[in-house]
Structure 1
Amino acid sequence: MTSFLGAFALAFAAVVLVELPDKTMLATLVLSTRYRRRPVLAGAAAAFGVQCVLAVTAGGLLHLLPHRILEATVALLFAVGAVLLFRESVAGGDEQLGAGGPSEPDVSDRRVFGISFGVLFAAEWGDASQLATAGLVARYGQPVATGLGAFLALVGVATLAVLVGKVILRRVPLRLVHRVAAVAFTVFAVVAAVAAVRG
């Protein structure tokens, strides 16, 4: 059984790696160019919180499966995540971000919160980070540590997107980050598959 800090660190690292080049970061960046930063971040954090609870719950249910089936399921989750990331690295290209249109200062904070929540909740649904969170909970049985690590990673990436996203995307090719994340997910999948075979 992995320690609380170990599960937290694994979840944090996996989600940061996946989210840096992800549509979630891009969506947060675009929203922050149109609206005030605080309600955008608040809406994003609320969406991430709900998604993490859902992923942790799914992972907790998977953790109840017999060991071999559990490891095979975790391997499948990470393999799917690796395929999705690799596909994005091949097809997605290096996205160019526009300014996101003119700023809209007259929109209420409540409305900005709602827009941000809706956009980012939809963006995260079935995302590689959600698969990773569920897979890590299922494998290591540390729902609180994994959920907290994933949540803080998501909020951290969103904050980074708001503050310095454009600079990062100019310097680091998205294809490279997608491929590094795909390799990491492949390693997770292989480790879980080997554990399933060994029983």
Structure 2
Amino acid sequence: MELNLFVSTFALIFVAELPDKTAFAALLLATSHHPLAVFTGAAVAFVIQSFVAVAFGSLFSLLPPMLIHISAGILFLVFAIMMWCKNESGGEDVFSNQQAKKVRFSKSVTSTFMTIFIAEWGDLTQLATATLAAKYHAPITIFCSATLALWAVTAIAVIVGYKAKHLIPPNLLQRVAATAFALVGVGLLLKH
């Protein structure tokens, strides 16, 4: 691996991802889901997205942006509704406590994966990864560096979201998160 290319790719992707909707989504999801589940779902989505970006290089930019934004916007709105309507009461007599935790964990991984996977299509960081892969012809270096940068931002977002969960009353946090998801969804739909 070329160290300079690795470091410069990492820095570029890290800085570009910090204010991004997917980092924001990871932060919000960590306020209501297990932090490891959120990180796991996002990490898997980013591995696939980075692989696609590196594999297809500059061809990736041919995807229709309007379709991507509409799909991501709808997904964010669906999650906003689900979060707004979420009932925090326990009462899971059907499963043992351990089984219920496993089901919740896997649902959290799946919902995070879907949110990040769809929202990341056509994203600036994915396009940057594709462009760097096409330009430098160093797919392994670009893939590893971009993926690690995305994971680093996700880890920061998950930690901030998890800490917020313990500082802000759960009902208020749930409403704020649902509203934020709705705003991102509407913003994505209005973008095109």
Change (3 A) 1:9 1:165: farther
| Equivalent residue number for residue 158 of structure 1 | 154
Trace 1:60-75 onto structure 2 (pairs within 5 A).
62=58
Distance (whole Å) between structure 2 residues aligned to residue 55 and residue 12 of structure 1: 15
| Equivalent residue number for residue 14 of structure 1 | 12
Trace 1:114-193 onto structure 2 (pairs within 5 A).
114-164=110-160
* 8 A contact 1:33–1:103 mirrored in 2: no
Distance (whole Å) between structure 2 residues aligned to residue 38 and residue 165 of structure 1: 12
Alignment size in residue pairs: 128
Change (3 A) 1:149 1:24: same
Deviation of 1:140 (Å): 0.8
TM-score (norm 2): 0.60
| Equivalent residue number for residue 47 of structure 1 | 45
Deviation of 1:166 (Å): 9.6
| Equivalent residue number for residue 108 of structure 2 | 112
Match of 2:155, SS state, is: helix
| Equivalent residue number for residue 22 of structure 2 | 24
CA deviation string 1:47-100 (max 9, x = no partner): 0000000000012xx5xxxxxxxxxx9xxx7xxxxxxxxxxxxxxxxxxxxxx7
* 8 A contact 1:34–1:103 mirrored in 2: no
Aligned identity (percent) is: 40
CA deviation string 1:18-51 (max 9, x = no partner): 1000001100000000101001100000000000
How much is the aligned-residue C-alpha RMSD, in angstroms? 2.5
* 8 A contact 2:54–2:143 mirrored in 1: yes
